[in-house]
């Protein structure tokens, strides 16, 4: 900013150290956490397979799952709202794809598109109820959590008399849209890596000779695309400014002419979209939809966002931070297994990280707002 | 009043009822371009309802609003803002967590197209913010400084500068000085003076007679949902204004016992 | 900021002592069991105990992992992760063939020995290239129980299903209905996993369907509250009550006569045998020639004493 007029130094404004200045960037906690977590596991689990190709694929896939729902939850939280129905939405969306594509036998691309439409309509409904009634989104989406989970169990039981519907992979064979969610890309590259001995290959069975990692899952591609989209939307567009404003102080934003209701409803729709992407990738990879899919995922999304530096009260946060939060979450969750730590201690670890993140966030908030 | 100067906003016989409560009972006020019109009244006098009617938040139950001579009916605050009536609310002007430049352009973000896609033009926003803040006498550390770190007076000034920059013809200030210290108050009053000199009509709501007398050109007193008349500068003393606000007699008695310090 | 550093250090220090709790011996074999059970499922405690016992006795490292919420997609990730950490063998369930087939087959193709326990069918085990299956074929167990109940004069029943999303468990109800020779229809209720809810739903069902002859519960999670429900309604001993699996309360109820029989699938064997089989296979190359049926065995008032002492721990 060369052409910024030189400000006259006001003696009452204290100079701010670079450290404090960096601290008010919402990504900082995420960056420090990421470095800390990788250092921790590099020391503790370096020879456990965590950092071979298969291990890396494992924790990056898990992290990518968290990232997909964290991007939606992040933008919604910055806009000042929560969505607790994300987990149920994942189960519901997967089940709808199975019902339409397998039970009813529709072409898979129609099944996917209709599912997206239904789920985003539910997202919009969440949003409309929240902005029209002024009720806390916590309660409204808690209701949606139960409603969607109930349908996810009821519909397949009524139609198929079971709660897991399989055969999705077969039904999706050769479908152009399904290929965007399932499968992998970059297979020749990984084959070459396998042949060159950089990564391991299967040494028996009908896939002998194939590399153990045969491409980057579309799930990871989706995570990347959503993060880039969310980050640009938030920081580089007019709409992004409205998201901050809607969450920072809805009334002030309204007085300034920001269409707060529209922003919030759209963010609910976007959160539902992210949940449906998650679900579609999941059913395409595993080939079946189950009534208990996605349990507690809403909290995992919120935790990733908070670790990533967003304030629970809205108006502040970053998509990159949320993505790093999801990475930390995924690496810790899978890494503790690699490090041979008793798996029930995962929650202890997670709780400690969450607590640290929230304390740090509160501290940051005080710095920004100058509260004493 | 000189008949040659046409009022920019003219409110005629405005009534506003909330259910059985009559908040405004036939209020008429003219606002002239380039004047600082002080609207005085005690708590509950109807000041808030009146300015919310002027800024499009409320629709009057009866009465007419003329803006630049034409009858106007604002559906919501956006209409009023688009027409050139900007309002700065006491607590609701700024968002503390956002940077000054994001606040400054909130709702009016400048757009720069890259490959046909509209992006927020941060360079322009930052430059304009720094310039406008300097012209109002506020030195920022940088355009990305959060509003939360500014003092109350500075926040009011940012909000006023924002309204002026976006072409407000009428600027409504809702109790801008009520929560401020002496130094900050004088800064805000100085800002009001600068704005008035640009030819913008300022509607200054306050219950502090001193603040009103410091910058006001004309004074309208509201009491119990009615106007007690409009006076020009020099036609009225602070004591008379104070009396009218309080509804006359009892205040005079009270003031006597307090030794004229109120 | 010193405060944060201290906290972070404390958190790190907290987790380290818990690492590598099983002792390694000379050949350092390690096996990972991945179950489908959520943390809340008490029945799997027996599995964990038997697993640790087998690990100790055979001198191998064993680890138990499970998806915290019982989400099978998470379970698939855990199997992938287990395979990536390169153990000598994986012991897991086939709770949903579609979801788990891919990760299990990848592990097998990678050269890891896999034994399927608890849930699955012999066909699926063959298909996946696993070494063997140790468990109780659920439909057959349900069928046998249904035939037994029919012999005792039962004509209608309610099946209390606390895990409606697991189709393998539901097979127990289906088998039972077929054993009785009646339609399952609406006899299976989704009770949820909360004890108070289960109890109240059973009471509600029995109130609205007073002609129900028998109750079938699918595990301690649904059996324990159901015992309370029939006791409160004064039906204890009067209504025909059978359950899958055992636990301290179930054992007591069998002694009291509230429950006629419990089907013991002997989970101890499902965890213990795979570890023994894998260790001997890795060390000496010996492998049993067939799948092992760990159940069903009926536990009644006649043989309860043996079971009672160890219920919930090893039985």
User: C224, C247, C264: which is the final residue of a domain?
Assistant: C264
Same domain, C76 and C181: no
The answer to whether the Cβ–Cβ distance between A348 and C99 falls below 8 Å is no
Q: What is the DSSP letter of C245?
A: S
Same domain, C127 and C273: yes
Same domain, B140 and B205: no
Lowest mean pLDDT among A300-309, A320-329, C13-22: C13-22
A298 CB neighbours in chain C (<8 A) are none
Same domain, C169 and C210: yes
| pLDDT range class, residue A353, cuts 50, 70, 90 | confident
Which numeric CATH code is attached to A48-369?
1.10.3470
Per the structure, the complete domain to which residue C163 belongs is given by: 138-264
Minimal Cα–Cα distance from B131 to chain A, Å? 7
Same domain, B131 and B237: no
Structural domain contains residue C308: no
Cis peptide before C296 (omega within 30 of 0): yes
Q: pLDDT value at position C117?
A: 94
Q: pLDDT value at position A24?
A: 66
Name all chains with 3 or more CB-CB pairs below 8 Å to chain B.
A
Per-residue pLDDT of C77-95, as tens digits, reads 999 999 998 899 999 999 8
In sequence order, what are the beta bridge partners of C215? Answer: C158, C241
| pLDDT range class, residue B253, cuts 50, 70, 90 | low
Using a CB–CB cutoff of 8 Å, tell me whether A2 touches chain B: no
* Stronger pLDDT, C264 or C306, i.e. the higher one: C264
B134 CB neighbours in chain A (<8 A) are 5, 7
* Stronger pLDDT, C274 or A290, i.e. the higher one: C274
Report whether C315 contacts C294 (CB < 8 A). Answer: no
* Mean pLDDT of the region C178-202: 85
Other Cβ atoms less than 10 A from the Cβ of C183: the count is 9
Same domain, C128 and C143: no
The answer to whether the Cβ–Cβ distance between C65 and A59 falls below 8 Å is no
Structural domain contains residue B162: no
Residues of chain C numbered 290-309 and touching chain A (CB < 8 Å): none
Structural domain contains residue B157: no
Q: Say if the ipTM goes beyond 0.90.
A: no
Residue A8 in this model has a pLDDT that exceeds 50? no
Complete DSSP assignment for chain B: --TTSPPSEEEEEEEEEETTEEEEEEEEEEE-TT-EEEEEE-TTSSHHHHHHHHTTSS--SEEEEEETTEEE--SSHHHHHHHTEEEE-SSSS--TTSBHHHHHTTTS--EEEETTEEEE-HHHHHHHHHHHHHHTT---S-TTSBGGGS-HHHHHHHHHHHHHHTT-SEEEEESTTTT--HHHHHHHHHHHHHHHHTT-EEEEEES-HHHHHHH-SEEEEEETTEEEEEEETTSS-HHHHHHHHHTSHHHHHHHHHHTS--
Residue B236 in this model has a pLDDT that exceeds 90? no
What would you report as the CA-atom Rg of chain B, rounded to the nearest whole angstrom?
A: 19
The answer to whether the Cβ–Cβ distance between B134 and A10 falls below 8 Å is no
Structural domain contains residue B4: no
Same domain, C154 and C226: yes
Which of A228-242, B236-250, C193-207: highest mean pLDDT? Answer: A228-242
Same domain, B69 and B106: no
Same domain, C215 and C240: yes
Residue C16 in this model has a pLDDT that exceeds 50? no
Using a CB–CB cutoff of 8 Å, tell me whether C188 touches chain A: no
Same domain, B135 and B17: no
Same domain, B175 and B253: yes
Q: pLDDT value at position A12?
A: 47
Q: pLDDT value at position A370?
A: 65
Report the candidate in B44, B71, B47, B49 with the shortest Cα–Cα distance to residue B60: B49
Handedness of CA C120, A200, A65, C87 (dihedral sign): positive
A16 CB neighbours in chain B (<8 A) are 141
| pLDDT range class, residue A64, cuts 50, 70, 90 | very high
Per-residue pLDDT of A10-52, as tens digits, reads 444 455 566 666 666 778 888 888 999 999 899 888 888 888 8
Per the structure, the complete domain to which residue B214 belongs is given by: 9-94+168-258
Cα separation of A227 and A320, whole Å?
7
The answer to whether the Cβ–Cβ distance between A290 and C72 falls below 8 Å is yes
* Stronger pLDDT, A146 or B233, i.e. the higher one: A146
| pLDDT range class, residue C193, cuts 50, 70, 90 | confident
Tokens standing for residue C155 = 């004509």
CATH of the domain at C97: 3.40.50.2300
Q: Where are the domains of chain A?
A: 48-369
Residue C208 in this model has a pLDDT that exceeds 60? yes
Same domain, B23 and B135: no
Number of structural domains chain C divides into? 2
| Site of tokens 């509250």 | C225
Cα separation of C279 and C60, whole Å?
8
B58: phi then psi, degrees, rounded to nearest 5: -105, 150
**A139 conformational bin, left if phi > 0, alpha if psi -120 to 50, beta if neither:** alpha
Same domain, B173 and B85: yes
Cα separation of B119 and B104, whole Å?
17
Which of A72-86, B157-171, B214-228, C291-305: highest mean pLDDT? Answer: A72-86
Give residue C131's Cα distance to chain centre: 20
Same domain, B182 and B248: yes
Complete DSSP assignment for C10-71: HHHHHHGGGSS-SPP-TT--EEEEE----TT-TTHHHHHHHHHHHHHHHT-EEEEE--TT--
Q: pLDDT value at position C192?
A: 80
* Mean pLDDT of the region A59-84: 95
Structural domain contains residue B159: no
Name all chains with 3 or more CB-CB pairs below 8 Å to chain A.
B, C
B132 CB neighbours in chain A (<8 A) are none
* Stronger pLDDT, A355 or B136, i.e. the higher one: A355
Lowest mean pLDDT among A51-65, B88-102, C13-27, C58-72: C13-27
Other Cβ atoms less than 10 A from the Cβ of A177: the count is 17
Per-residue pLDDT of A318-327, as tens digits, reads 999 999 999 9
Q: pLDDT value at position C13?
A: 46
Q: pLDDT value at position B4?
A: 62
Q: pLDDT value at position C17?
A: 42
Decide: helix, strand or coil at residue C156: coil
Report whether C110 contacts C102 (CB < 8 A). Answer: no
Residue B155 in this model has a pLDDT that exceeds 70? yes
Decide: helix, strand or coil at residue A197: coil
Same domain, C180 and C195: yes
Cα separation of A283 and A100, whole Å?
13
Report whether A68 contacts A93 (CB < 8 A). Answer: no
Structural domain contains residue B155: no
Q: pLDDT value at position B259?
A: 54
Find the closest chain A residue to B93 by CA distance.
A252
A–C contact: 3+ Cβ pairs < 8 A:
yes
Same domain, B139 and B172: no
Residue A266 in this model has a pLDDT that exceeds 90? yes
Per-residue pLDDT of C222-261, as tens digits, reads 998 999 889 888 888 889 999 998 877 888 899 999 999 9
C233: phi then psi, degrees, rounded to nearest 5: -85, 0
Number of structural domains chain B divides into? 2
Using a CB–CB cutoff of 8 Å, tell me whether A238 touches chain B: yes
Same domain, B175 and B236: yes
Q: pLDDT value at position C20?
A: 42
Cα separation of A78 and A243, whole Å?
7
Structural domain contains residue B198: yes
Q: What is the DSSP letter of C162?
A: S
The percent of residues above 70 in pLDDT, for chain C, comes to 92
The answer to whether the Cβ–Cβ distance between C190 and A153 falls below 8 Å is yes
Structural domain contains residue B236: yes
Same domain, C117 and C203: no
Residue A157 in this model has a pLDDT that exceeds 90? no
Structural domain contains residue C152: yes
Same domain, C90 and C203: no
Structural domain contains residue B101: yes
Cα separation of C214 and A82, whole Å?
46
Element (H, E) at C294: none
* Stronger pLDDT, C206 or A206, i.e. the higher one: C206
Q: Calculate the average pLDDT of chain C.
A: 85
What Cα–Cα distance (Å) separates residue C277 from each residue in C114, C119, C134, C142, C315?
11, 18, 10, 28, 20
Residue A102 in this model has a pLDDT that exceeds 80? yes
Decide: helix, strand or coil at residue A103: helix
Q: What is the DSSP letter of A101?
A: I
Per-residue pLDDT of A303-318, as tens digits, reads 999 988 898 889 999 9
Same domain, B87 and B116: no
Report the candidate in A334, A332, A304, A331 with the shortest Cα–Cα distance to residue A319: A304
Q: pLDDT value at position C279?
A: 95
CATH of the domain at B47: 3.40.50.300
Q: Which of C6, C81, C112 to mutate: most A Cβ within 10 Å?
A: C81
* Mean pLDDT of the region C8-16: 47
Q: pLDDT value at position C91?
A: 96
Q: pLDDT value at position B87?
A: 86
Per-residue pLDDT of A159-192, as tens digits, reads 877 777 888 888 998 899 999 998 888 888 888 8
Cα separation of A344 and C40, whole Å?
12
Same domain, C38 and C108: yes
């Amino acid at each position: 900013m060369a052409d910024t007029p030189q400000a006259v130094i006001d003696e009452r404004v204290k100079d701010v150290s670079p450290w404090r200045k960096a601290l008010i960037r919402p990504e900082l906690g995420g960056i420090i956490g990421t470095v800390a977590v990788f250092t921790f596991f590099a020391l503790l689990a370096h020879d456990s397979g965590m950092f071979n190709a298969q291990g890396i694929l494992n924790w990056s896939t898990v992290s990518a799952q968290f990232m997909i729902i964290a991007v939606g939850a992040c933008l919604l939280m910055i806009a000042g709202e929560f969505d607790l129905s994300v987990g149920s939405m994942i189960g519901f969306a997967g089940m709808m794809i199975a019902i339409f594509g397998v039970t009813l036998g529709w072409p898979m691309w129609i099944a996917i598109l209709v599912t997206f439409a239904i789920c985003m309509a539910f997202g919009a409904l969440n949003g409309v109820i929240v902005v029209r009634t002024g009720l806390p989104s916590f309660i409204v989406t808690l209701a949606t959590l139960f409603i969607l989970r109930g349908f996810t169990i009821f519909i397949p039981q009524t139609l198929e008399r079971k709660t897991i519907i399989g055969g999705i992979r077969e039904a999706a064979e050769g479908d152009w849209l399904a290929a965007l969610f399932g499968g992998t890309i970059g297979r020749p590259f990984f084959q070459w890596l396998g042949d060159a001995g950089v990564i391991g290959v299967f040494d028996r069975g009908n896939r002998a000779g194939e590399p153990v990692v045969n491409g980057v899952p579309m799930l990871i591609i989706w995570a990347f695309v959503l993060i880039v989209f969310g980050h640009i939307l938030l920081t580089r567009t007019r709409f992004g400014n409205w998201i901050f404003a809607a969450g920072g102080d809805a009334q002030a934003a309204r007085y300034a002419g920001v269409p707060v209701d529209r922003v919030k409803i759209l963010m609910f729709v976007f959160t539902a979209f992210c949940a449906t992407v998650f679900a579609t990738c999941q059913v395409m990879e595993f080939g079946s939809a189950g009534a208990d899919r996605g349990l507690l995922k809403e909290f995992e999304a919120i935790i990733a966002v908070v670790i990533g530096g967003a304030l629970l009260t809205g108006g502040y946060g970053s998509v990159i931070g949320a993505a790093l939060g999801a990475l930390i979450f995924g690496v810790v969750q899978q890494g503790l297994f690699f490090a041979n730590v008793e798996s029930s201690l995962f929650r202890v670890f997670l709780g400690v990280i969450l607590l640290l993140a929230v304390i740090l966030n509160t501290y940051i908030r005080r710095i920004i707002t100058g509260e004493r | 009043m000189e008949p040659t100067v046409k009022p920019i906003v003219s409110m005629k016989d405005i009534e506003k009822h909330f259910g059985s409560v009559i908040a405004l009972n036939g209020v008429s006020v003219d606002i002239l371009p380039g004047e600082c019109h002080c609207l005085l009244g005690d708590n509950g006098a109807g000041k808030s309802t009146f300015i919310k009617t002027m800024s499009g938040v409320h629709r009057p139950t009866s009465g007419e609003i003329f803006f630049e001579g034409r009858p106007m009916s604002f559906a919501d605050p956006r209409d009023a803002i688009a027409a050139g009536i900007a309002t700065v609310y006491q607590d609701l002007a700024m968002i503390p967590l956002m940077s000054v430049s994001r606040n400054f352009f909130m709702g009016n973000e400048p757009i720069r197209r890259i490959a046909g896609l509209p992006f927020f033009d941060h360079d322009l926003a930052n430059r304009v913010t720094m310039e406008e803040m300097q012209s109002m006498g506020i030195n920022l550390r940088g355009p990305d400084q959060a509003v939360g770190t500014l003092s109350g007076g500075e926040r009011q000034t940012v909000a006023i500068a924002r309204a002026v920059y976006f072409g407000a013809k009428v600027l409504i200030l809702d109790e801008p000085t009520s929560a401020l210290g002496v130094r900050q108050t004088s800064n805000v009053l100085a800002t009001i003076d600068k704005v008035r000199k640009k030819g913008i009509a300022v509607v200054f709501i306050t219950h502090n007679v001193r603040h009103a007398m410091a910058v006001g050109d004309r004074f309208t007193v509201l009491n119990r949902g009615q106007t007690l008349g409009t006076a020009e500068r020099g036609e009225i003393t602070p004591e008379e204004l104070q009396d009218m606000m309080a509804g006359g007699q009892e205040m005079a008695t009270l003031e006597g016992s307090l030794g004229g310090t109120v | 900021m010193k405060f944060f550093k201290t906290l972070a250090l404390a958190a790190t220090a907290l987790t380290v002592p818990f690492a590598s709790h099983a002792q390694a011996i000379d050949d350092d074999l390690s096996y990972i069991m991945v179950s489908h059970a959520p943390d809340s499922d008490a029945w799997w405690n027996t599995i964990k105990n038997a697993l640790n016992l087998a690990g100790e006795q055979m001198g191998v490292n064993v680890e138990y992992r499970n998806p915290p919420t019982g989400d099978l997609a998470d379970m698939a990730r855990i199997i992938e992760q287990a395979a990536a950490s390169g153990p000598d063998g994986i012991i897991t369930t086939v709770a949903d063939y579609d979801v788990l087939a891919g990760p299990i087959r990848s592990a097998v193709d990678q050269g890891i020995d896999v034994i399927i326990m608890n849930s699955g069918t012999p066909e699926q085990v063959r298909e996946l290239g696993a070494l063997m299956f140790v468990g109780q074929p659920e439909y057959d167990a349900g069928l046998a129980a249904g035939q037994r109940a029919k012999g005792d004069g039962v004509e209608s029943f309610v099946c209390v299903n606390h895990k409606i999303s697991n189709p393998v468990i539901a097979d127990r109800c289906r088998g039972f209905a077929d054993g009785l020779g009646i339609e399952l229809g609406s006899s299976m209720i989704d009770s949820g996993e909360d004890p108070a809810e289960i109890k109240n739903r059973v009471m509600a069902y029995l109130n609205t369907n007073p002609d129900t002859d028998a109750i079938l519960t699918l595990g301690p999670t649904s059996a324990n509250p159901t015992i309370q429900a029939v006791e409160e309604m004064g039906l204890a001993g009067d209504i025909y009550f059978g359950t899958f699996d055992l636990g301290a309360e179930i054992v007591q109820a069998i002694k009291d006569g509230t429950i006629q029989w419990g089907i013991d699938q002997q989970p101890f064997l499902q965890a213990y045998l795979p570890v023994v089989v894998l260790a001997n296979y890795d060390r000496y190359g010996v492998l049993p020639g067939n799948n092992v049926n760990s159940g069903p065995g009926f536990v009644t008032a006649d043989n309860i004493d043996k079971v009672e002492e160890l219920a919930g721990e090893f039985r």
